[in-house]
Structures are given as C-alpha cells and as structure tokens.
Amino acid sequence: MSLEVIILAAGKGTRMYSDLPKVLHPLAGQAMLTRVIEAAEATGADKIHVVTGFQSEMVRNHYQDSPYNDRIHWVEQTEQLGTGHAVSQALPAVDPDNQVLVLYGDVPLLEAETLTKLVAACGDSGIAVLTLDTANPAGLGRIVRNNKGDITEIVEEKDANIEQKTITEINTGIMAFSAAKLKAWLEKTNTNNAQGEYYLTDTVAMACADGLKVSSLTTEDEDSVQGVNNRLQLAELERRLQRKQAEQIASNGTTVLNLDRVEIRGHTTFGKDVVIDINVILEGDNHIGDRVRIGPNTVIKNSRIGSDTCIEAFSHLEDCEIQLACQIGPYARLRPGTVLCDKAKIGNFVETKKTVIGKGSKVNHLSYIGDAQVDEAANVGAGTITCNYDGVNKYKTHIKSNAFIGSNTALVAPVTVGMGATTGAGSVITSDIPDGQLAIGRGKQRNIPNWKRPTKKTD
C-alpha cells in the first residue's frame, strides 16, 4: 500500500482579482502550488495528481520546465462542482489499494510531518481529518462530535445551525482516505446542500453510517493550514513566513540585524558568522559562506558567496559565483555569469556581465565590464568600458595579468590587453596590446595661447 496525493487547484480565486491563477501567486518567491507539491513530495508520495480547472493551461505551463512536471499527473475539472467532485475527477487514476491524501493548492505552508501523521492516523477506519481549533471559524466547515467526542459529520458554515456555528474546531480541508472507501463514498455524494455542490466533507457522515470511527489529528500551527483566498491573506502569510524564516536563520547562527527586514524568497544556506544588515533580499538558491557580511538594501539571487566576502550597501547580484574574501559595492551590479576569483574587488557603480575577474584584480569605479576575462592582479581604472556589442554581435575582451587600464578607456572588443600592459587615460583601444607596452589611442592635447572666451551678444 502506498500513498497518492490529490491536490485541488481548480478554483477560480475570484477574490484575488487577478489574471494570474491563484495557486501561481508567489509566497516567499515560490508559487503556492509549488509549495504544496513540495510538501506532497516530502511525504514520500508515490503519485501526485493535480486537479486544475480555471486557467488550467497557465497552471500546467508554469511547470513545463520544472523538475516536478514528470511527477505530476494533471487532471482536468471542467466545471467546479465542489471539492467532492474535484477529487472524483482524479480517482480513476488512483490505485484502490492505496491511500489518498487530499491537499489544497491554496494552503501553501503545510508541514510534511503533520501530513505523514494524518495518513498514519487514517489506518483501519480509512478516513482521517486534519482539524484546527481557531478563534476565527467563520466561513469554514465545523467538526461535529458526539458526546463521546467522536466525529459524526462536518457541516459547512452555510449549512450549519446556530448551535453548530458556535463550534470552534474546523475542517482544515486536509483529509486522508483509503482509496477504495473514498471511491465508494464519493459515488454516493449529492448536491443537496446550501451551495449545491458535491462536498468531499460528506464522506465523514458516510463513514459513520458504515460504523467506522473517523480519525482526526488537530494541529496547533494555524499558519500551516491557513488557506489563501485574497491578497490580504497572502500578504499576511508572507509576513509571518518571512519572520519565521528570519528567526530560524538567527537561531541557527546568522546575525540578522532586523528580523522583520530580511526577505528569503527561495532556499539560502548560510555558513558561520554571517551578518545580514537591513532590507536584504535573498532570492532563488543561494549559498552564503562563512563570515560574509551583507550590507543594507542588497539583492542576491541564485549566487554563491565565498567566505570572508564583504558586500556593501545597495548591491545587486544575480547568477554570480563569488570566491573567497572579495569586496563588492556599495552600488555594484553583478549580472549573470559574473565570477569573482579570490580577493577581487568591485567598487561603486560598476556593472559586470559574463565576466571573470581574476584573483586580486580590481574594478573600483564607474565601469561596464561585459563578456570579459580579467586575469590576476589587474587594475581597471575608473570609467573603463568594454565595448562588447556592435549592435548585432557580442565580442570578448581579455585583460591579462598585471595590466593597468587607465581611466576612461574604451576597450573595443574583440581585443586583448597583454600581461603588464598599460593604457593611457581616455584611450579608445581597438587593437591588441602586446605584453608590457603602453597603448595610447586618443587625440593629442593642444594648448592654444591667447584664447579669448566668447562674450555675451547684445542686440
């Protein structure tokens, strides 16, 4: 007997007021549905079925190039006739000997451990419900228990009587079943209720009618079962999740100067004694090495930062590999394909792209270095530009070790600056410079004596 997960994601998400399907809205940088799929994966599920309906195409396309796509069995629910109907659409592909776990695509912070416990609780009875005691049960299905404390049914708010509405134990929507029993029960559901829908929750009363004891598991962690119906709820969940992540990295040994002003959107790992100043955004997959200091208002996306590197304020790094003890910023922009070798230095208002900066080399001020290879211990002067693009094609610049590029040099690629070569300030370099030579490529200065400045004309 193995586990199959059915994720419901066909709903319209009307209250998001969005062209984007609700389940694709990101929470901490990841689509809500992706988080649910990851939770499903973490339970060790054998198969994952995702039921889509509203903007199906868009949802499926989102996963086309993802590693999950091969794992997902997509199911179409053309009309949204209720949670019971949605699950029924997936059941023909489910092995009756297996267990089924039902999740919602808009409940993004599920904990795999809780899910695994719920599935285990399902056991002999073949049905288990994840419940929550909450101060705000409004709008949710209430768990009705008899005087022995056994669950007898789940009543939707719209179908509930006054007494049932006072119940504070609610259905999170997460349920586990034996597939065979679920099939039998769903075949018997009807739409005789306030919403005219097929309710998945009706299976509970049916199990009781079959003389079975409905198992339940109550979670204490409200956020982990919180559904998102509008952007306010999404924003609130985002804040709570960010705070929790910040607390987690702080507990694990990172100095976070303000727990409410660091954003982790994706997966970042940290070495020892990292210091993070305020308004730092870590996006995608990053690794931050030991003793790295990240200055305020810095964005780091899909990058590896080597130990002892210091990134000063207002820097932006994407798809970069930063080796040991580099110095970056303030106001540096390191674009995809930038590699800084040990002890390289990138100063203020410097942009790099597809460029390797060799060990100990420096580009300290106001430069654009793209499609370039800078070898070791070179000094690239202020205002140096690699002219890498002729409007159609891109070309490479190679600056060899110990070269000294004078201020405001334009390096018209393809071009190579030899080892230990020098360029005069303001040069436009269009041909290769042999090792050790000085290249000057600019108009000569003339000093004109007795020059009279123009005077203001009067009419």
Q: Which stretch binds ligand UD1 (CB under 6 A): 109-117, 167-175, 316-324, 329-337?
A: 167-175
Give yes or no for a contact between 325 and 307, defined as CB atoms under 8 angstroms apart.
yes
Instruction: Give the C-alpha separation, 103 to 225, whole Å.
Output: 10
Interacting residues with ligand UD1 between 247 and 306 (CB under 6 A): none
Q: Which stretch binds ligand UD1 (CB under 6 A): 4-12, 340-348, 351-359, 426-434?
A: 4-12
Amino acid at 222: E
Binding of residue 227 to Ca ion (CB under 5 A): yes
Binding of residue 201 to ligand UD1 (CB under 6 A): yes
- Cα torsion angle, 272, 275, 278, 279, sign: negative
Interacting residues with ligand UD1 between 47 and 66 (CB under 6 A): 51
Site string for Ca ion, 391-420 (x = CB under 5 A): ------------------------------
**Member of 42, 81, 212, 419 binding ligand UD1 (CB under 6 A):** 81
Place of tokens 């195409």: 57
Q: Which stretch binds ligand UD1 (CB under 6 A): 80-88, 112-120, 260-268, 274-282?
A: 80-88
**Member of 83, 219, 338, 422 binding ligand UD1 (CB under 6 A):** 83
Instruction: Give the C-alpha separation, 179 to 93, whole Å.
Output: 11
3-state SS assignment for residue 129 = strand
Round to the nearest angstrom and report the end-to-end CA distance of the chain: 100
**Member of 6, 8, 48, 410 binding ligand UD1 (CB under 6 A):** 8
Describe the crossing of helices 83-90 and 179-188 by its angle, rounded to 10 degrees: 130
Binding of residue 171 to ligand UD1 (CB under 6 A): yes
Taking the least distance from each CB to Ca ion, the nearer of 8 and 186 is 8
Binding of residue 233 to Ca ion (CB under 5 A): no
How many residues form the binding site for ligand UD1 (CB under 6 A)?
27
| Catalytic residue list | 365
Instruction: Give the C-alpha separation, 277 to 359, whole Å.
Output: 27
3-state SS assignment for residue 323 = coil
Length of the chain: 459
Among 410, 445, 402, which residue's Cα sits nearest to residue 431? 410
Tally of CB atoms within 10 A around 57: 9
CB of 360 to Ca ion, least distance (A): 57
Instruction: Give the C-alpha separation, 316 to 300, whole Å.
Output: 6
Binding of residue 358 to ligand UD1 (CB under 6 A): no
Interface with Ca ion by CB under 5 A: which residues?
A: 227
Interface with ligand UD1 by CB under 6 A: which residues?
A: 8-11, 51, 77, 80-83, 85-86, 104-106, 140-141, 154, 156, 170-173, 199-201, 227
